[in-house]
Structure formats: C-alpha cells, structure tokens
Structure 1
Amino acid sequence: MPRAAVRLSRVTRLFDGRAAVNQVSLEIAVGETVWLRGWNGSGKSTLLRLIATAISPTFGDGSVLGFDLQKQRNAIRARTDLLGHETRMYDDLTASENLRFACSLYDLDVRSVESALERVGLDGVAAVRLGSFSQGMRQRLALARCLMRTPTLILLDEPYAGLDVDARVVVDDLLTAAHAGGQTVVLASHEAPPAHLIAREVLMDGGRLAEGGHLTAPTVAAPS
C-alpha cells in the first residue's frame, strides 16, 4: 500500500473553457480523514469526481491508491466509493435488489444485504422500489452499499444533505468505522462533521486550494 492514498499534481479541469478545478496539488495520507470545505461552486464536487475517475483532468496528473489517475481508472474504481448527489441506484429495483446487484458487481456476500439495510434503518422497506424513495432514503441506501463494500477510499459529497437526525448518525458511524478500519475518507460538506472524526481540513476557493486558511465570500449580484 502506498503512503499517499491521493496524490495530485497541478490538476486542472475545464468546463467550456472555465476552470472548475485549477492547478490543485494535494496529498492525502492512507488512513486519513479529510474535511474538504468551501462555498458552493468552489470546486469541491468536481475534485471528488476527479479523484473517483468519474471525470478526467484536462491538465495535470496524479495517483489514487498508487494507481495512475488516467491510465488505471478501473483499478481505482474497484477500490473507491463515491457517495454524491447521484446515488447510482436503479428506480425499478427494490432496496434489497439494488444491494444484491451491488453484491454481484463487487463479489460481495449477499447475506450482508439484510444487516446493511438494518444499519441504515431501511430494513422495513427492503421490498419497496427505489422510485418511491425520498432523497434522504436514497442517501441511506447508498450508505448501506458503502458499508457493505468497505472500499479503501471513501469519497463523500455533502453526505448530510437531506438526512434526518437518525440518518446523520449513520454517516458519523461510517466515519468512525472507516477510521477504525484504516480506510481513507475525503468528505466535502458545508456542515462540520464531528471534530474528533476529522484529521485535517482542506479549503477550496474558486477552484483552488485556499491560501492561509481563509475563504473569500462569494459575490452576490445587486438586485436589478
């Protein structure tokens, strides 16, 4: 296992000529839990998607878990789980069927499905199709999949959004279990996670890592 779970060198991602992530160099140690914070539009979600290989950098290079960010994408994906706004679940399958499908993809024991649903409080709706789930329930199911997989690197994009108090505890439990298991976590959130679960804060501002630990307030247009 490499010392650095994530190593980025001058990574930039352009959308229509605009840099959503701009010249980011970052190193995250194996087993570290990092809180990535910044205003909306600061580039947090784009950075997580780059690390997860959901998108490729326009410029720059890096490695994730010792694998090249652009040349060994499948190896990275096999060891990484991104919990973002898109849960990558299927509306026409039930909660249980979605997790069973994940078991077939990742060679997991299907006997873990029942306990995973129970841990996130969805055991009572295991036979209900995902199409009728609220966003919060979808987030819970995505957390259940992550709990089953135990990936080496966990990337969480606003994991507390849309969750009630009980489900927020599930996120905190996931962070606690990840720390105990030596997993690496990068958590992008407006809301501060429990301080004792975080090893380090990384600030983003305007697509760059913020200097001096300060964020510039976003400009708000004056009413016309």
Structure 2
Amino acid sequence: MSIEVQNISKSYGAQKALDNVSFSVKKGEIVGFLGPNGAGKSTLMKILTTYINADEGKASVNGNDVNENPKEVQLSVGYLAEHNPLYLDLYVREYLAFNADVYKVAKSRIEEVIELTGLSSESHKKIGQLSKGYRQRVGLATALLHNPEVLILDEPTTGLDPNQLVEIRNVIKNVGKNKTVFLSTHIMQEVEAICDRVIIINNGKIVTDKKLDKLVSEIKEQVIEVEFDKAVNEALFAKLPNLKSYKTISSNSWELTFETEIDMRSAIFDFAQDNSLKTLQLSLKSKNLEQIFREKTFNK
C-alpha cells in the first residue's frame, strides 16, 4: 500500500480532530479526501507528512512508519500544504535549485518539473511577481522535484480563478498517471474530474470511502424540475408513483424528488395529461457529488 492509516486519533485540547480513522490507498490511486472545515483533513495530512504526531494509532507511507522512519517518509512524499510556503524574493529557478540541493537531486530535474508543471513562460520571474495560479505551479514543481511516489495535496486550487483551476487540475491529473495522489479539496467538480475514489470525513470520522463510479451508481434518487401551464393542486401529486418530496420553485414550477432508478419523466407527462395540464418545461437534474457530500456531512 502507498498509504496505510490504522486507528489514528488526534486531539487539540478538548477538541478531537481525528477519531479512530482507518483506510489504505493503493499505488496509483487518485483519492479525493473531502470534508467540511474542521473535519480533520489537514490534521491527517500533517500526520502523513510527519509534521505532527498522532495521539494514537499508526500510519505509514510507502511502507515507512511516519514515527519510526520520518526521513524516509519525507523523501518518498511530495507535499503541497494548504498555505503554499514560498520565498517570494527568489526567482523560480533559484527557488527550485535551493530545493534541489535540499533533496540532493540533479539540477537537470529542475527543467523537467518546470516543463511538467507549465512554468516555462514564467520561470525567469521572481515568485512574488507570479499570479496565484503560477505560485501553485511552483509549489507543485517543488513537490515533484525529488520524483516522489506519493503526492499529498492540501487544497491545491484554493483561491484560483476558473481558468487557473482548470490548468492546475490538468497538471495534477497528468502527474497522477504515474503516482499515488491524496488530494484534499472543497471543489466537487475537481474530484469528479480527477479522482478514482472518494473518502469523506466528518467530525473526525470517516463517513464514506468508495470508488467514485460506485458512489454515483448507488444514487437511487432523481430530481425533476417541471413547469406546468397553470397552478396545480398539491394533493394531486399523491398520484405520482415513487414521489419522495416536492417543493415549489415559482407559481407553476415544481421540483419533484423521486426515490427510484426508473426515469419518471414519462410518468409526469402522463400525470399532466390526466389532470388537463400542459408541460411547458421539464428537466432531469442528476444528483451529484456535492449533494452526496451535503448529506454525509450535515450535522443534525
């Protein structure tokens, strides 16, 4: 296993950040690690990268225990922290050369990671002159410099505009072809575009750990928005089979939620005809990862 987490717990005073967390990540997987603010994501990533120690449990990266072999873990991991720490007064190549000395890697590797992360056009500038998107590329280039087997990325696209987000996403997806990637983010579209698997944590506990395609395939609800030509007596909706709930969007528009895998659009057309209604608009809204995330992390 590239990452092995066994019964990890961590508290800050009375606040339990991680509560008996266990999972493993196989070599070559791209895993999205999701959770609301304060759920324990960054804490676990800091444990995996040896920045802090767990109170209980064990964790290993590439077979190296994070407590017993921290140097080996650091050499096998590329880590991009949530707040990307950079020396803004250094030039891009100068900064990468400094890190190449730290990791004792050949200087030729600098040009390789510059090309890999799309930094060529900006590599002659000081880091302080770069946009947020290019600073993130510098962080990724640094994480990749020593050619680690595992990438641990904590909110790598925070603060990026849509164009920058797509660019960084493509960089991560490209480098992830040959590495294990453990990625924390709040952007669900990013997970859907990049990840093979999703782990959701809430209040320090794992609440979901599934392959992305399996998670989506298990969805047994469908939401349909429909607009009729006139007002509808709500009592009539009881005639619709598999209807779980309904709510009004506007005077004659409704959002209908069905608990079934059967496409209910034809049933709505039949419902309209039976009740002397005309269907002006009808659209099926697929339930997505964002909705699943809200369900799994909503604290009642």
Where does 1:4-153 land on structure 2 (aligned, <5 Å)? Answer: 4-153=1-150
Q: What secondary structure is seen at the aligned counterpart in 2 of 1:46?
A: helix
2:122/2:130 contact within 8 Å kept? no
Matched, 1:169 2:182: no
Asked if residue 186 in structure 1 is aligned to residue 178 in structure 2, the reply is: no
Q: Which has the higher contact order (CA 8 A, sep 6+)?
A: 1
Instruction: Return 79-88 or 46-55, whichever deviates more.
Output: 79-88
Verify: 1:216 aligned to 2:287, yes or no: no
Deviation at 1:118, TM superposition (A): 4.5
Alignment CA distance shift 1:16-1:74 (3 Å): same
Instruction: Output the CA distance in 2 between the equivalents of 1:203 and 1:154.
Output: 19
Deviations 1:12-67 (A, max 9, x none): 11112311111101111122111111111111111111111111101111221111
Quote the sequence identity (%).
Answer: 27
Identify unmatched segments of 5+ residues in structure 1: 220-224
Deviations 1:158-209 (CA, angstroms, capped at 9, x unpaired): 1121234245323333323322x2x211111111326364221101001111
Task: Let me know the Cα RMSD of the aligned residues.
Answer: 2.4
CA distance in structure 2 between the partners assigned to 1:12 and 1:186 by the alignment: 19
Answer whether contact 2:31 2:199 (CA < 8 A) is retained. yes
> Quick check: which has more Rg, 1 or 2?
2
- Range moving further from structure 2, 43-52 or 83-92: 83-92
Q: In the alignment, is the contact (CA less than 8 A) between 1:175 and 1:185 conserved in 2?
A: no
Structure 1 range deviating more: 94-103 or 185-194: 185-194
CA offsets, 1:95-146, max 9 Å, x none?
A: 1111111211223232343453354444343343333444333212111223
> For residue 156 of structure 2, what is the aligned residue in structure 1?
159
AA in 2 matched with 1:102: N
Q: Distance in 2 between matches of 1:42 and 1:10?
A: 16
Deviation, structure 1 residue 10: 1.2
Comparing 154-163 with 205-214, which one deviates more in the overlay? 205-214
Is 2:117–2:171's contact at 8 Å kept on the other side of the alignment?
no
Give the direction of change, closer, same or farther, for the CA distance of 1:5–1:206 in structure 2 (3 Å limit): same
What secondary structure does 2:89 align onto?
coil
User: In 2, distance between residues paired with 1:32 and 1:55?
Assistant: 24
The aligned amino acid for 1:94 is: Y
1:12/1:57 contact within 8 Å kept: yes
| SS of equivalent residue, structure 1 residue 215 | helix
Change in CA separation of 1:81 and 1:94 when aligned onto 2, cut-off 3 Å: same
Gaps of 5+ in 2: 210-291
